[in-house]
Amino acid sequence: MKGLLGCGLGVLGVGLGALPAQEPIVPIEPPAAPEQSEVAELMDLVRDGAFSSPGYARTTLVRTQKKIGEWQVDLGDVDVVVGEYRPPGYRGNAIDLNGTRSGSIYQAVPVQPGLRYTVKFLAAGKWAGNDNRPRVVTVRLGKQKMTFSIAKPADWSPSAVDWKWYTADLLAQGTQAALRFTSETSRTADGPMIAAVSLYAPQGPPGPLSSVPVPLPADLEKYIANRERAIALGKALFWDMQVGSDGRTACATCHWHAGADMRLKNTVHPGAPGSNFGPQYPQSGSLFADAVKKFRGVNGTLKSEDFPFHKVLQPLAPADRQGQPSKGNPVLRDTREVAGSQGVLTEDFIAVVRGRSADLGNPVLNPVFSMHGVNVRQVTGRNSPTTINAVFFDRLFWDGRANRYFNGVNPFGDLDPEARVYFAEADGSMSRVMVRIDNAALASQATGPAISPVEMSWDGRRFSELARKLLPLRPLALQKVSPDDSVLGCFCDESGHGLCGKKTSYSQLIREAFKPEWWSGRRLTSEGFTHMEANFSLYWGLAIMMYESTLVSDQAPYDRWAAGDRSALSPLAKEGLKIFMNEGRCINCHSGPEFAGATVSELRGVLSNDGGVERMQMSTGIAVYDGGFYNIGVRPTFEDIGVGAAHPLFGPLSYSRQEQLGRNPEPKVVVSQDQRLAVNGAFKTPTLRNVSLTGPYMHNGGMKSLREVVEFYVRGGDFPDQNRQDLAPDIRPLEGMYGSEFKVDALVEFMEHLTDERVRRQKAPFDHPELVIPNGHAEECYDEAMDQLLVIPANGRDGGEGLWTFEQTLQRGMQWRSGSGRYPESKYPTAPVNDIPPAKLIPGDPLPLPKSPAEGAVKPPIYWRD
């Protein structure tokens, strides 16, 4: 959905028609050159789209059966408009499709059947007297058509005509088709006007991912002294369980499986969170309250029959809609629930204890994530997206709140004007300075979960306090590290657990990775923190960014095919690619070699022209939206408004809304106060690379398989009517795929060929330390919930066991061996300490071993209501 007005576009007329079964389909061939890195310049198939031939000296009426250069008038009559009304700076002529009455013009163009073509043109309305009706124009390519309505601007005049760009994507059904423009406005001599018409052949398939440069900050050397040490620091921090307030939760706990999470037990949230910041509209608050009331309970295990969360009788046909005649396809099940990721128990932060991996906290009863007065681990309100290839995105998180600019402190970049870090002056004093590091959405993203009271932290912990805990601890002390780890193997301790000695303490890694001016200050802050403690969020964000920037999966079968190996895709996958590029419209959102939206290359790279804010024609008129963020009708808009949300302190997340309010420091598109936005309920378009391994799917985790995802798109989404105001224009039924199991199989097969075998086998750079993760709680608990554990073994550069799909996991159960009790055996109760001796341990472990109930005592278990 790129371009001045997007693609696909709003429809007042007819949707996509089915292809005749007997028509030949021209296969897509790989790019001619292995090094092809971007979409080639497209060829315009229209002859004289400026209507400049023959030369007209003045506005001229042209009647039926007459020609205007290469164009034929085939209905009514039209005016060739010369001079007045034309677009500013435009050297050609315009066509008023109402001469004395409504008219139509066309020209024949060569096309290939089964491929999608883009029509691009300028359009405006012309009015006289009191006739304020919209001017309506229909664009046809053969039998395919789209209709656009042009409203009269309040300030319209012959000298101030509001010309705008429009585009339409239309499917060719023969080897030659008529490109036709028809006025649908009757009873007037002033109609819709068109100019600058072009028709582009379909773009070729994306090139290999290796053709896209990894977009790191240009000024990285201002902060980082040694990139290799920064990567090692980032990998250790990302996988270290000691980071969590519970001494058990790492970043990797929610991103351990191909960069995503597919645990089955205690992973359901009631749903309808409103936004990441809670309900922001009255309807959002009531939806969340109702979702909690209907929540089936905590600590349950997801089963295959729970999916999809929105189920219809016939998945490959449009569902029945409220207020419309039944099509015999009723909704069988619908739930607002979300398949998210387990975080931490609900506790208020008290303090860190020197030499201990668990923080002191005060338990607070959670009214949702508890049962019979016992807290269980909280669950996030959205599904966890993959960290692999995340470096290519302009913004991160489903709602884009991880800003492209890293401010060194939190995810919000320029939105937080008070964010400051400390800089060491020559005399050892420290000054507070603002940093603004571009192309650093990964760094912004990394600073969110570590202090989130749901994901990893007791409520109220700060990065400086996290640093005070981690800096003395041996990195990864609770986990095995393979001596053959591609990054950490050379630091591996002889014991096999953690990294060795003083030379690889966190403080030493920071000294080696970062320039001294960011850690060498000799004074304390006003709160008593050292320079290294006070700046820990800066190191944390940049180091994890450096590590994740190595997680690029550019060796999938598709990459080999795109580089010229014609045997790398199966015949069925090639059919799927053809559907992906054309009939399925998938490429409109999942674009480029990244197969994603909102990427740096799309918004600010070789394909960039708008800086992230775009206009698109929708069924309800033209709207402005954030490039790469779309409302696709997975759930009703106000259950979760996505990028349409506003932070309570820092304001709106949406680029479009920021520009409308004058808050974007680098505006690319002027968005007036009265312009409509289509940002509510819109989410970032994720990458499809390794998608076979990253289920469950969508921001709510409501689909278990790629087949269910394809079925969702074939039927045109699940909530198109409720979401009409913000719905992406390409979300409409794929009529040519109704009931076609072959086409579904082909599309699924193609997406499976986007999986890099190194990711599946956990080979370098996707190898990792051991990880022990909670997977729900024991069925019976007394004073507190006891974790059930899964042990993910350490892998070296040569990899290990192949990962399963989410659907396979539902069928077979978790593939990793389980543990029990509070902690992994042999790694507790204490963690080794580097640099300084451990403090005397205070009585009472912050996470004590479970107590046995008094003899004869009976307490109800935590359970799941099926």
Q: Residue 579 region, left (φ>0) first, then alpha (ψ -120 to 50), else beta?
A: alpha
- Give the 3-state secondary structure of 784-839: CCCEEEEEECCECCCCCCCCCCHHHHHHHCCCCCEECCCCCCCCCCCCCECCCCCC
DSSP 3-state of 232:
helix
Q: At a CB cut-off of 8 Å and minimum separation 6, what does 710 contact?
A: 744, 747, 748
422 touches 534 (CB < 8 A): yes
Rounded distance between C-alpha atoms, residue 337 and residue 775, angstroms: 18
C-alpha 513/C-alpha 511 separation (Å) is 6
Structure tokens at 141: 């390519």
> Both ends of the chain: CA-CA distance in Å?
41
Closest CA to 828 of 496, 353, 478, 480: 478
What residues does each domain of the chain span? 60-200, 226-271+341-553+768-819
> Amino acid identity, residue 547?
Y
Predicted pLDDT of residue 175? 65
CA–CA separation, 779 and 266 (whole Å): 11
Residue 448 structure tokens: 């969110």
Name the nearest CA neighbour of 715 among 742, 745, 749, 738. Answer: 738
List Cα–Cα distances, 13 to 3, 96, 146, 194, 747, in angstroms. 22, 21, 6, 18, 27
Q: What are 401's two structure tokens?
A: 């709140």
Joined together, the tokens standing for residue 135 give 């001017």
Q: Which amino acid is at 398?
A: W
Distance CA 315, CA 307 (A): 12
Annotate 2-52 with DSSP letters as a single string: -STT-SS---SS--PPPPPTTS--PPP---SSTT--SPPPPPB--S-TT--
Task: Tell which residue, 104, 182, 198, 193, has the closest CA to residue 145.
Answer: 182
Third-level CATH fold of 226-271+341-553+768-819: Cytochrome Bc1 Complex; Chain D, domain 2 (1.10.760)
Can you tell me which residue has the tokens 């009472």?
844
pTM as predicted: 0.78
From CA 277, how far away is CA 252, in angstroms rounded? 23
Q: Give the DSSP H/E element, type plus range, for residue 778.
A: none
Tokens matching residue 70: 């290469």
The residues, ordered by sequence, that sit 6+ positions from 333 with a Cβ below 8 Å of its Cβ are 309, 310, 311
**Cα separation of 519 and 56, whole Å?**
72
Q: What is the DSSP letter of 846?
A: S
Interatomic CA distance for residues 147 and 183, integer angstroms:
10
What is 60-200's CATH number?
Answer: 2.60.120.260
Distance CA 252, CA 249 (A): 8
CA of residue 406 relative to chain centroid, distance: 18
DSSP state of 484: T
Q: What is the DSSP letter of 441?
A: H
Euclidean distance between CA atoms 320 and 326, whole angstroms? 5
**Which of 36, 47, 65 minimizes the C-alpha distance to 108?**
47
pLDDT of residue 654: 94
Q: How many residues does the chain have?
A: 866
| Rounded average pLDDT per 10-residue block, the chain, 866 residues | 32 26 33 32 78 85 91 94 83 92 92 79 92 94 90 87 90 80 94 93 83 93 97 98 96 97 95 89 87 91 96 88 75 95 97 93 95 92 97 96 97 95 93 96 98 97 97 94 96 88 84 97 94 98 98 97 93 94 88 92 57 73 88 96 94 92 70 88 97 98 98 95 92 89 97 98 97 88 81 94 94 66 32 32 29 34 37
- Nearest 5°: CA angle at 26, between 23 and 29? 165
Tell me the H-state helices in 447-490. Answer: 463-470
3-class state of residue 182 by DSSP = strand
* DSSP character string of 119-134: EEEEEEE---TT--PP
For residue 366, the tally of other CB atoms under 10 A from its CB is: 17
The SS3 assignment for 412 reads coil
The tokens describing 352, both together, are 């860190």
Residue 546: name the closest of 209, 229, 212, 762 by CA. 229
pLDDT of residue 572: 97
Neighbours of 73 (CB within 10 A): 21
The vertex-349 CA angle with 347 and 351, nearest 5°, equals 140
Burial 37-53 (b: 16+ CB within 10 A, else e): bebeebeebbebbbbee
Q: How far are the Cα atoms of 325, 584, 681 from residue 734, in angstroms, in the given order?
A: 20, 7, 22
Alpha-carbon Rg for the chain in angstroms? 29
What does the pLDDT read at residue 840? 28
